[in-house]
Amino acid sequence: MEMRLEKIIDLNILQEMQDKIFQTYSVPSAIIDNEGNILTSTGWPDFCVKFHLNNKLTLPECRKSESAIIPDSVIHECPFGLHKESIPIVINSIQLGVYTTAFNLNQHPGKQRLLSQAEKYGFDINAYLSAASEIPVWQIDAIKKHSGIAGGFIKIITQMIENKLKLISYEENFRKVQNELNFYLNEALEKSSEAESTIVQLKSAKEELDWESQARDVAEKALLDREARLSIIFRQSPLGITLIRLSDNIIIESNEAMASIYGYTVEELVGKSTVDLNLWINPEERNAIINELLSSGNCRNREIKARKKNGDLILLQLSAELIKKDNELYSLGVMEDITARKERAAKRRWRWPRKRCSKAMQKWRCSNQRRR
C-alpha cells in the first residue's frame, strides 16, 4: 500500500481532534504531507491561506518550505517571515508529513519587509498588513508548553496509523488465503486429473481456517469472562469510578460509589456533562489534569476540590488513565472522598498545642498559690 497520510488515516477524525485542541488552546495548526499539501488545518492564518497559498508565485516557496524531511521537532522561519514549529509524523523510520503550528516569535515581521512582499507579489497592502497583524506573538516558554501538548497529539496519530497498517496487513493476508482457496477450488473443478491433490490442499486450508475459528471463539469467551469480572469490580468497588469522554466532558459510566460521593444517583450522572453539573470548583484543575492525561497518559493521587449536588464543598483524591476507543479519548477515573480525613488531621494539629498551653497555665496557677 502507498504510504501516504490521506490513504491510511481518516482525515475527518484528525480534523475534529485539531478543532478540539484549537477550541481549548487557540493554537493554529495544520497537518501537511511531504509535498507541502495541507491535509487538515484549524485556525490557519489568512496570511498563508488567502495570500501565499493563493498566489502562483509564492505557492512553490510555501510548499518547498513545508515539504522538508526533518529528524525531530524544529522551529523555523518561512520565506515570508512567519515562524512555525514542525514535528515530523514518522512510521517505521519513514516521514509521512508534519504537524505544524504558526506564530510570530517574540514580535511581528518588520513592516518594511511586509510592504516589500506585498509590492513584489501584487497583494493588497492594507489587507496583507492586517492579516500579518492577526498572527499570535509567542514567547519561547509558550512554545515549549504547547510542544508537550503537540507531542501527545502526535503519539495518538502515530498509534492510529500503526493500528490501521496492522488491520490492512491482516486484511491482505486474509484475502491472500481466500484467493488461494478459490484458486484450488477452481483447479479441482477444471482439472479432474489433479482433483485428489487439490482436495488435500483444500482440506489443509479448511483445517487452518477451522483452527483460526476455534482460537477466535476461545479469545471471545475469555474476553467476555474478563468483562464480566470487571463489571462486578466496577459496580461493587467502595471507590468512585467514572468514565468521561474528553471531547465534551460527558459522563459515560459511573458506579454507585461515585454517585454517592457527589450526592447524585447514577441515573442523574450518566449522560450529563461535568461542566453542566458544576462538579468542579476550579476549572483550571480540570484543564491541568486533561493536559497531564494527554501528555503522559495518566495522573496519580491528585487532590481536587469538588462540589456536591447540595452545594457542599468536598476534597477528593483522583487517579486517572487515558483510554482510546473508537477514535475517541476517555478518562477512566478513580476517586476517594478524603474530606473527613483531612478535617480530622487538621483538628489533631490544632488540639495538640492547645493541650500543651492548658498544662502550662495550670502550672502557673499552682506556682502563684504557693507564693500566697
Tell me the mean pLDDT in the region 185-201.
70
pLDDT at 73 over 80: no
- pLDDT at 190 (0 to 100): 72
- What would the 3-class secondary structure string for 49-118 be? HHHHHHCCCCHHHHHHHHCCCCCCCEEEECCCCCEEEEEEEEECCEEEEEEEEEEEECCCCCHHHHHHHH
Name which residue leads in pLDDT, 370 or 193: 193
- pLDDT at 243 (0 to 100): 92
Distance CA(261)–CA(108), nearest Å, equals 51
314-339 pLDDT, tens digit per residue, is 999 999 999 988 889 999 999 999 99
Provide the grid cell at 306. Answer: 469538588
Mapped onto helix, strand or coil, the DSSP state of residue 308 is coil
Please say whether the beta carbons of 276 and 261 come within 8 A: no
pLDDT at 310 over 80: yes
Name which residue leads in pLDDT, 300 or 372: 300
Please say whether the beta carbons of 306 and 283 come within 8 A: no
Q: How confident is the model at residue 270 (pLDDT cuts 50, 70, 90)?
A: very high
Name which residue leads in pLDDT, 118 or 154: 118
pLDDT at 279 over 80: yes
- pLDDT at 18 (0 to 100): 85
Work out the mean pLDDT of the chain and round it to a whole number: 82
pLDDT at 196 over 80: no
248-261 pLDDT, tens digit per residue, is 999 999 999 999 99
